[in-house]
Amino acid sequence: MGWNEIKRSPFKKVNDERYHITLIVRCSKIRTPNTYTNSSVPVPLFGTRHSLANLNLYIWGTHTLHPMTDIEYIRNLRTPSTEDPLRLLMSACFTGIVCGFDNQAYADYPTIIQLLKYDKIKVSRFCPEDFSFGTPRRLCDIHGGDGFDVLNGKAKVLTEEGDDWTAGMIEGAKKMLEVAQKNNVELCVLMDVSAACGSQVIYEGMRRAENPVYQVGAGVAAALLIRNGYKVISQRDYASMEALYHKLNPAHTVNPDAIDHLQHPWCKEHFGI
Ligand code: SF4
C-alpha cells in the first residue's frame, strides 16, 4: 500500500508510559474511507478526509510509544557478587521450562544462553500465560492497543478463535508482578513479541493474520511490570545485554556496535522512530 507521510509532530512525552506523535499520511490509491487497510502504518487511525479534488485520502492519527530500554539503568545497577547476585525475573520459556503455547521451551536465544552462564545472577522464572491458561494452549494476541491499553480496559486479548482471554492475561500479569515483588527483582528479561511478555515490539491483532501488523509496545505482563517501576529488556536488546554482561563480569568487553531492538534499521523504518 503506497502510504506517504505528509506531516509528523515532534515526540511529546505524555507520562512515563507514553510518548505521542501525530502523523498525517496519504494514499493516492484509496478512493473511499472505508476501504483502507493500515498494514504498513503502525498507528491507530482516528479519522479520514476524502479530498474530491485529487481523489487522495488523508488519514491522521496518534502514535503512542512507551519509553525504550533504559541502558543507563543497567550501567548504574550495583555490582553483584556470587554471594549477593543480581536478582532477575525472566520469561520462564527462555530458561528451558516447557510453557510455550505450542508445548515448547524457547531456550535457544544466544543472548539468553550467554546470560544464564553467569554465576552472579539469581533468576526468578515465570510464565503468565501458563499460569492462567496452562500449556499447551491456544495462541492469543492483543487487539486494539498494547498491554497498557489492556490494563486500562481499552484493548482486549483474543485467541485466534475469538475467545476473550483479557481477564486471564491480567491475572497472569498480576501474578508475575507478585513474583517480581516477592523476589525484590532488579531487572526483568522478557521474551519480545509475546502478548504477555513483549516489551519492545508486539503484534496488533492476530500474528497469523494474512497481513500481520506490528506495533511498538508492551505485552500485558510487561506493561504491568513497567507501570510498577520495573525495567524490562528483551532478548533482542543487544546493547542492553552487553551492558548487563559487563555488569556481571567487568572483564567482558562491550561490543560498541551492539544496538537495542528499537534501534534496528527495520524498526526505525517500519515504525518511523
Ligand atoms: S507468556 Fe512469556 S513466559 Fe510464557 S511462553 Fe509466552 S513469552 Fe514465554
169 Cβ inside 6 Å of ligand 1 = no
157 Cβ inside 6 Å of ligand 1 = no
Q: Is 50 helix (H, G, I), strand (E, B) or coil?
A: strand
Distances (CA, A) of 169 to 37, 127, 130, 147, 154: 28, 11, 10, 10, 14
Is the preceding omega at residue 85 within 30 degrees of 0, hence cis? Answer: no
Atom of ligand 1 nearest to the CA of 128: 1
* Cα–Cα distance for residue pair 123/185, rounded to 1 Å: 9
Return the amino acid letter for 103: N
Atom of ligand 1 nearest to the CA of 93: 8
100 Cβ inside 6 Å of ligand 1 = yes
130 Cβ inside 6 Å of ligand 1 = yes
Backbone angles phi, psi at 216, to 5 degrees: -75, 125
Predicted TM-score of the model (pTM): 0.80
At residue 29, the pLDDT reads 45
92 Cβ inside 6 Å of ligand 1 = yes
* Cα–Cα distance for residue pair 170/223, rounded to 1 Å: 10
Cell (9 digits) for 43: 498507528
Cell (9 digits) for 225: 511490570
95 Cβ inside 6 Å of ligand 1 = no
Atom 8 of ligand 1, residue of closest alpha carbon: 93
At residue 182, the pLDDT reads 98
Flag residues of the chain having pLDDT under 50.
Answer: 1-2, 28-60
At residue 244, the pLDDT reads 98
At residue 268, the pLDDT reads 78
Distance (Å) from CA 16 to ligand 1 centroid = 25
At residue 263, the pLDDT reads 86
194 Cβ inside 6 Å of ligand 1 = yes
At residue 273, the pLDDT reads 66
The CA-based angle 98-103-109, given to 5 degrees, is 55
At residue 14, the pLDDT reads 63
At residue 69, the pLDDT reads 85
* Cα–Cα distance for residue pair 153/148, rounded to 1 Å: 9
